[in-house]
Amino acid sequence: MNAAIRSEPELEANHADIVRATLPLVGAHIDEITTVFYRTLFHNHPELIRDLFNRGNQAEGSQPRALAASIAHFATYLVDPELPHPVALLSRIGHKHASLGITADQYQVVHDNLFAAIVAVLGADVVTEPVAEAWDRVYWLMANALIDLEKELYVEAGVEPGAVFRNVTVVSRVEDVPGVTVFTVESADSATALPEFLPGQYISVGVRLPDGARQLRQYSLVDAPGNGRLAFAVKRVEALQERPAGEVSSWLHANLGVGDTLEITLPFGDVTVDTDATTPLVLISAGIGATPMIGILEYLAARAPHRQVLVVHADRSPQTHPLRARLLDLGARLPESTLEIWYEEPTEGAHHGWIDLSVLDLPVDADIYLCGATEFLRAVRNQLSTAGIADHRVHVEEFSPTDWRVGIETA
């Protein structure tokens, strides 16, 4: 874990009193504040919603909710340092920011638009000078923790702050189960190889859409590191009732072929396996959440084939299970692995119905990795708690912005 976010930020006593007193009011209006904030930010800086922020997450509200919850969570911690340090929250945001090339100067822009939104929503009579000053302090304590972490991540990646974008060439495109395609890329510039990465990490992929917007999305890496190539599997997000088809996943499926150039960013992500440890691993996924687990298994097959690993996956059927053939092959190559699969449709050799961890022997000292839709994560977290698994053993990757209010934080 990076040192930058381990430090304990402190709010001065007078600021802490004001923040404590106004937290309920800010908390009660925070969704409104973040909605006004993003509206103002994108009005003042239209290039940010066109080329940097994920407009799908804006449209369905998950990013404003995540921002609101993260600030409320951090402020609550500042006024009650007895609470656990929000290290997991800062780490997730910092890695996501680094994967998008966010730089320190952009924090002032966010600050100015956020504080304009706070005044617009709560009114200048409520946001008096002392109140504004106290919340300013909260903002900069959080911003500086993130700025420090992101600086460290850029140094570790060996790049100037924000210089994470690379042009790559697609060298392979393979259709997996229906709706899932695996793309493999290598550097478009033979003098600059693509870097190593840790099992569990992801890249951002940038696509220029027909209306001219450059939209970025994250994809977990599914191959072992070290061959100069990066591979990722994309599930096409289909339209469902009032929800339109996913923009980037549909574009990649429809347009990206071997020989094409693509913009990606360097690998980041904090839900990674400790490659020096020898503890058993338990990998639990559902649907397209299989991808980081496949990356971890590929790593083990290449570099630590004798590590004990229990793989648990849930899906509708073998025909919808992403990278299933690869999983079975990896199982055969990993002598200390066990596969436990649940399919909703009765299938020979698999459990039937919903995942039920109580029928498994979970090693008590295992590091447990989870990835899947929010409902699945919540259900599995509950089952792990019931099984007496300590929270710090559980590492969660989410494919949509984390809402820190829903109680799936990991320490």
Please give the positions annotated as active site: 107, 150
Cβ 181 vs Cβ 253: under 8 Å:
yes
CA 40 to chain CA mean position, Å: 25
Q: Please tell me the distance from the alpha carbon of residue 236 to that of residue 314, in angstroms, as a whole number.
A: 19
Backbone angles phi, psi at 3, to 5 degrees: -65, -35
Residue 166-205 contact track with ligand FAD, rule CB under 6 A, x = bound: ------------------------------------x---
Backbone angles phi, psi at 214, to 5 degrees: -100, 110
The span from the CA of 74 to the CA of 71, in Å, is 5
| 376: its two tokens | 């699945």
- For ligand HEM, the binding residue among 2, 22, 34, 54 (CB under 6 A) is 54
CB 160 within 8 A of CB 166: no
Q: In this structure, how many other beta carbons lie within 10 angstroms of the beta carbon of residue 214? A: 13
Q: Which of 272, 320, 402, 410 binds ligand HEM (CB under 6 A)?
A: 402
Cβ distance 28 to 160 under 8 Å? Answer: no
Residues in the chain: 411
User: Of 22-30, 115-123, 165-173, 216-224, which segment contacts ligand FAD by CB under 6 A?
Assistant: 216-224
In the complex, the smallest distance separating the C-beta of residue 336 from ligand FAD, rounded to whole angstroms, is 25
Instruction: Indicate which of ligand HEM, ligand FAD, none lies near residue 107 (CB less than 5 to 8 Å, by partner kind).
Output: ligand HEM
Which residue lies nearer to ligand HEM by CB, 114 or 357?
114
Site map (CB under 6 A) of ligand FAD, residues 61-80, x = contact: --------------------
Gap between the Cα atoms of 284 and 304, Å rounded: 19
Of 162 and 267, nearer to ligand FAD (C-beta) is 267
Which residue lies nearer to ligand HEM by CB, 141 or 157? 141
Phi, psi of 376 (to 5 degrees): -60, -45
Please give the Cα distance from 192 to 333 (Å, whole number).
32
Site string for ligand FAD, 217-256 (x = CB under 6 A): xxxx-----------xxxx-x-----xx-xxxxx------
Q: Which residues between 260 and 319 bind ligand FAD (CB under 6 A)? A: 269, 288, 291
Among 71, 117, 205, 266, binds ligand HEM (CB under 6 A): 71
Asked if residue 309 binds ligand HEM (CB under 6 A), the reply is: no
Residues 78-117: x/- map of binding to ligand HEM (CB under 6 A)? --------------xx--xx--x-x---xx--x-------
Specify whether the CB–CB gap between 361 and 348 falls below 8 A: no
Query: Does residue 56 bind ligand FAD (CB under 6 A)?
Result: yes
Closest to ligand FAD by CB, 170 or 237:
237
Strand, helix or coil at 191?
Answer: coil
Q: How far is the CB of 201 from ligand HEM (least distance, A)?
A: 14
CA distances from residue 380 to 58, 324, 353 in whole angstroms, order as listed: 27, 21, 14
> For residues 169 and 193, is the Cβ–Cβ distance under 8 A?
no
Q: CB of 200: closest distance to ligand HEM in angstroms?
A: 15
Strand pairing class (202-208; 214-220):
antiparallel
Chain Cα centroid distance, residue 283: 17
Residues interacting with ligand HEM, by CB under 6 A? 48, 52-54, 57, 63, 66-67, 70-71, 92-93, 96-97, 100, 102, 106-107, 110, 139, 142-143, 146, 401-402
Residues interacting with ligand FAD, by CB under 6 A? 54, 56, 59-60, 202, 217-220, 232-235, 237, 243-244, 246-250, 269, 288, 291, 397, 399
